[in-house]
Amino acid sequence: MREKKPGRMGMKRVELALLAFLLAGCGAETKKEVAVVTLPDQDSAGAQILISDCTECHGAPQPSAHPAGEWAGVVRRMQNWRTTKGFGVIPEKDEAVLIRYLQEHSRQ
């Protein structure tokens, strides 16, 4: 009996460590969601394309990062990165919607 107790305690400690690890994982996930929510006009088609096609390699880029005139060039460069890294190129129609979205909310 006495010998078994420490064993069970040990198991509990492992379980607690695992739980803490899982909770920490949840925390990180929540942070990511919060970062995404800070995009302007979040429900628009452009924002949704940004969330799905511009976050594979880095966090969601903010439209305010560039003035309107620079966004087409930045997106072209990112399309090249997509090709280089083996992601599919964003279709022309989506790219146009995305660039319009970035320009509408760009740095003034």
Site of interaction with ligand HEC (CB under 6 A): 53-54, 56-58, 61, 65-66, 74-75, 77-78, 81-82, 85, 87, 98
Quick one: residue 52, left, alpha or beta (phi over 0 = left, psi -120 to 50 = alpha)? alpha
Residue 74 vs 96, nearer CB to ligand HEC? 74
Hunting for tokens 């003034």 — which residue is that?
Answer: 108
CB 60 within 8 A of CB 54: yes
Residue 6 vs 67, nearer CB to ligand HEC? 67
Residue 4 vs 85, nearer CB to ligand HEC? 85
